[in-house]
Structure 1
């Protein structure tokens, strides 16, 4: 189709669209950006394809992080799970994996999220509630007992003590004889949203960010398939932001 033919048909379409019946609703993105009824080649004529759209699996990743999308790797199915003792949750993990789950998502209890041991007085009444209690490397070894960490990806919803929990995870992998380069998974580790939304922080922002940057650098070099941070817009939105 030539540019002239396109413009002719576009003009005809625009005239029909103006007189078409409308329900009067305003359509926008979640950030309030207006959404037109139709988009054509002229809407992207000023866009640099390589720098602003790009190829699938390549920067700027507007078309996904894999070259062939879900044709090559379908999404991971994982149920957020964790309760009671490491033994309790390990049993639940095996149940989920045996019933078709393709990844793990670890829920930690409040003492663990705040960096407290299970036997600390402040943890009284909260141990193993709404998540698994992890106080030591031995707890982590029990949590992933008989689960080959190079065969399953693991998401861990942990923020302030993420460096410690991740170190435990790496130690378990090392004990299993797993090469860190074969580990796959994600840490939430989004500490900035803790200060303005969820409030589960331990250290001030500056040293916290330094720890996270160190973790990003370490993962880049040593655990390349691991996602060291998962930016969590959900918490900020639930705390009252409008976009």
Structure 2
């Protein structure tokens, strides 16, 4: 991991984002839990509503027991959301010679000399190499304007759209033209996308990249294109 240098520009959600997650989510959860507890008698009578036994129990208990339990349980769910949100935060540190992409306690560096293009693809920050492959694709809620300003201010080649966008094809199982093994990886990745297993989605993205396949997502749909590996077209 590179050492922070004077003049490096950091783009992240800031302290306000952390305050929102760690104070806002539990407080909203507590309020929602208290509201559900107040309606527990009515909810217990709705056959389609989940956790019927829990709401029936809350309705039978006195208020001094039911409200702290109901509010506390949903507040804990808010804490769990804050933990997940904190782990998924992306911090981008842009320098003249490299950029550090930091998430969930782990960071990776990409050297400026390897990068021929930087752009935002929806909510993803993408760095391209000379062959058209992706050196990085990181999802985040960071503003495009802030990212553009940080990269261009440090002399990086920011582009306003994916220069290879027209080369993508919609993936369907069994489609010809893919390298050996890529179809199986795309099938596995489709299942991971549907189940929102983000770590597995990223891992399979890297496996496909090693085969010369670049993948981008639109919702749960996968689109792919091929790149050159070792100077040979795939």
Same fold (TM over 0.5): no
**Structure with higher strand content:** 2
Which structure has more relative contact order (CA 8 Å, sep 6+)? It is 2
What is the TM-score with the length of structure 2 in the denominator? Answer: 0.24
